[in-house]
Structure 1
Amino acid sequence: MTSSRLRVFPAISRNRDPKKYVGELMRVAQFADRSGFAGILLFEGNDVFVEPWAMAQHIMGQTTRSSPLIAVNPVYMHPFTAAKFVSSFAQLYGRKVYLNMITGTAVSDLQGLGDEQPHGDRYVRLGEFVALMRQLLENTRPVNFEGRFYRTSNLQLRPRLTRELMPEFLIAGQSEAAQRVARETDCIKMQMLPPDLDRGLDAPGMNFGIFARESREEARRAAKTRFRDNPDDRELLSLTMENTDSVWKRHLYDGQSGELQENGYWLLPFLTFQADCPYLVGSYAEIGDRLKDFAAKGLTTIMLDMVADETEMQHVCKAFAASGLF
């Protein structure tokens, strides 16, 4: 099988300082724009410092080609509102956006918002959300929609988007309900980097971080310097795990080691609440070869956790360059 070019959406590593949040996002967004990345991932949730739709507009206004990957949770808006934003960005900037469809946020936040839907039903709602958004964006005639969660009568969005400006939808959930909705709605299915790196690759999209240097030993030393183990940080993650029903977070958290594995798989950044995914650590050549292997097995799209400083971003670019797929 021939490997194809990878589409990469960087995301800043978990940021707890609101004074640095916008600056770090813009640094990565502008770097991504210069370096040929597809765009940048923007998170959603009660604890996100800037609403992702507002941040997407700020980024698109200060870049030339970036197509942000915007997290969308039905608990925060109606499908018509989301479709209106997508249409507005297309008219303002002549660019498409990507939508990361999610249902998860802290259980306490769902309770605060008065959303009492069980996990499975939230995914039913998500599927309807995607279906209705597509109809609104594609149709030239008013849309009539009858679902469990959404109903419309002669609802029309103007103007209809051209095919090249239609958004692409991703689903990152790992539960059976999430997988079902991804299949039914033809969304790009995402998964976490698997610990053995060779098995369990069953989605066109993957979420992980990269820490690379010229040699494997240098990469491992630098990674352990950047992401240090800390009991207080582990306790912070433990507290957040009591406030989530996320299947993928539970899967990463339960029974996995924070040791840097021989194959480069490293979960410590997640276990210490410094990242939302595992990391792949190694030399440029090792990571380049691994990316080629992933692409040969069908990987097309990467959500890439990234440390928001110029030096680390350059190291990541060298790893992608070594793959020949970027």
Structure 2
Amino acid sequence: MAGMRFEVYGTAITQHAGQEDTLQTIVELAQRAERHGVNGLLTYYNHQSIDPWIVASVILQNSKSVTPLVALQPYALPPVTAAKLIHSLTSLHRRRMDINLVTGATEGELAQVDEKLDHDDRYDRAVEYGVVLRSLLASNEPLFHEGRFYRYRALRISSRLEPDERPRIFVAGSSAASRHAAAAVGDVAVTHPEPLAQFAKTFLHRRQDGPRTAIRVGLVARPTRDEAWSAARALYPADRLAQIKTSMRKQSESDWSRRLAKLASKDAIYDEVYWTGAYRGGGSVPLLVGEYHEVAHYLEQYLKLGVSTVLLGGRLTSEDDFRHSATVLAELRSRVRQV
């Protein structure tokens, strides 16, 4: 692991449109992320939240080094429009932004837009989307494209960026279809990890020349183990409704939702650090809970397995949240340099 580099992205958790102080919330998140050594912020997409591109523009305007990781949902935005947005924001701020190419959504949101494609077909569309997007960002020559989902005749939108300005494409998912998509158009494959031993046998069993690997986890770290577990359980109290939701998630279309639901129903704690309590409480990520050095050590083991990027989910909004996470990351960086 000598000289090994890794990146850390937080999540730009935003209030719904129309609520007070949304702009200030985003500004403060960007500035806290920069102050505490977080490389970027994921801006997510759903039907209720502030548009991720607007959030990305606020991040770029209010930081010097934080990279927006913009959730890009193919059904919501044609690749031509996405290319123009990427080109415009990158050119205006002279900063790279990254793309999180997503295909999933709640069943309700898919129904609202009359989405007819099934799980695997949505990933097929994402692959073609990525091909078109990369072409538009790589050249100003007319684009001719005849595909299953997109067709263009001598399209010219002048969206070329220099190689070091072009976004990296993150592809989220852990199913066979998502892995194919990541291999085809992705730079980074993202998943919610299982405990170390199981993760090494499942998601990381892949070609060495494939995309880099990112994991999405939450951190609840404190000076002592007791403090950490008290904080974690206070954030995600268990109740009967949470247990029912966890059981229902075993039937989810999402591969990682099914996997995490199975882990959550068998046992809450693995390896004394990995905890499914946040997932059981309605969240979407596993948590790493413990003393600072325990959490740093567990993350280090993921890096040794080949993980290069950590996306921090869960509760990471306040100054204290960032401070606790920064303590873990500082120790992790020290461990990587010393090995």
The alpha-carbon deviation at position 58 of structure 1 amounts to 1.7
Q: Return the alpha-carbon distance in structure 2 between the equivalents of residues 285 and 218 of structure 1.
A: 14
Q: Return the alpha-carbon distance in structure 1 between the equivalents of residues 251 and 34 of structure 2.
A: 36
Select which of 313, 316, 322 maps to 1:307.
316
Q: Return the alpha-carbon distance in structure 1 between the equivalents of residues 139 and 195 of structure 2.
A: 43
- Write out aligned runs for 1:118-133 (5 A): 118-133=118-133
Contact 1:106–1:243 (CA<8 Å) still a contact in 2? no
Partner in structure 2 of residue 320 of structure 1: 329
Select which of 269, 272, 287 maps to 1:279.
287
Partner in structure 2 of residue 135 of structure 1: 135
Q: Return the alpha-carbon distance in structure 1 between the equivalents of residues 65 and 297 of structure 2.
A: 28
Q: Return the alpha-carbon distance in structure 1 between the equivalents of residues 84 and 46 of structure 2.
A: 20
Q: Return the alpha-carbon distance in structure 2 between the equivalents of residues 113 and 243 of structure 1.
A: 22
Q: Return the alpha-carbon distance in structure 2 between the equivalents of residues 63 and 214 of structure 1.
A: 30
Residue 247 (1) aligns with residue 268 (2) = no
Structure 2: segments with no counterpart, 5+ residues? 205-211
CA deviation vs aligned residue, 1:162-212 (integer Å, no higher than 9, x gap): 111100001111111111111122431112121245634616211101111
Residue 38 (1) aligns with residue 46 (2) = no
Q: Return the alpha-carbon distance in structure 1 between the equivalents of residues 13 and 89 of structure 2.
A: 26
Q: Secondary structure of 1:40's match?
A: strand
Select which of 235, 238, 245 maps to 1:226.
235
Greater RCO (CA < 8 Å, at least 6 residues apart): 1
The alpha-carbon deviation at position 259 of structure 1 amounts to 2.4
CA deviation vs aligned residue, 1:29-49 (integer Å, no higher than 9, x gap): 2211222222101111213x2
Task: Report the TM-score, using the length of structure 1 for normalisation.
Answer: 0.90
Q: Return the alpha-carbon distance in structure 1 between the equivalents of residues 305 and 320 of structure 2.
A: 30
The alpha-carbon deviation at position 139 of structure 1 amounts to 1.0
Q: Secondary structure of 1:190's match?
A: strand
Partner in structure 1 of residue 209 of structure 2: none
Partner in structure 1 of residue 155 of structure 2: 155
Residue 265 (1) aligns with residue 266 (2) = no
Q: Secondary structure of 2:270's match?
A: coil
Q: Secondary structure of 2:264's match?
A: coil
Partner in structure 2 of residue 29 of structure 1: 30
- Write out aligned runs for 1:285-304 (5 A): 285-304=293-312
User: Which amino acid counterpart does residue 302 of structure 1 have in structure 2?
Assistant: V
Contact 2:169–2:187 (CA<8 Å) still a contact in 1? yes
- Write out aligned runs for 1:30-179 (5 A): 30-47=31-48, 49-179=49-179
Q: Return the alpha-carbon distance in structure 1 between the equivalents of residues 143 and 321 of structure 2.
A: 47
When the two chains are superposed, the root-mean-square deviation of aligned CA atoms in Å is 2.5
Distance 1:64 1:12, change over 3 A: closer
Q: Return the alpha-carbon distance in structure 1 between the equivalents of residues 105 and 217 of structure 2.
A: 20
Q: Return the alpha-carbon distance in structure 2 between the equivalents of residues 238 and 213 of structure 1.
A: 31
Distance 1:7 1:213, change over 3 A: same
Percent identical residues: 26
Q: Return the alpha-carbon distance in structure 2 between the equivalents of residues 163 and 35 of structure 1.
A: 28
The alpha-carbon deviation at position 135 of structure 1 amounts to 0.3
Q: Select between 116-125 and 211-220 the one with higher mean Cα deviation.
A: 211-220
**Count of aligned positions:** 323
Contact 2:196–2:302 (CA<8 Å) still a contact in 1? no
User: Which amino acid counterpart does residue 214 of structure 1 have in structure 2?
Assistant: P
Q: Return the alpha-carbon distance in structure 2 between the equivalents of residues 156 and 215 of structure 1.
A: 58
Partner in structure 1 of residue 222 of structure 2: 213
Task: Report the TM-score, using the length of structure 2 for normalisation.
Answer: 0.87
The alpha-carbon deviation at position 302 of structure 1 amounts to 1.1
Partner in structure 2 of residue 7 of structure 1: 7
Contact 2:273–2:288 (CA<8 Å) still a contact in 1? yes
The alpha-carbon deviation at position 232 of structure 1 amounts to 4.0
Contact 1:13–1:276 (CA<8 Å) still a contact in 2? no
The alpha-carbon deviation at position 247 of structure 1 amounts to 1.9
Partner in structure 1 of residue 187 of structure 2: 187
Q: Secondary structure of 1:281's match?
A: strand
CA deviation vs aligned residue, 1:42-99 (integer Å, no higher than 9, x gap): 111213x201011111221122222100111101010011111100111111111111
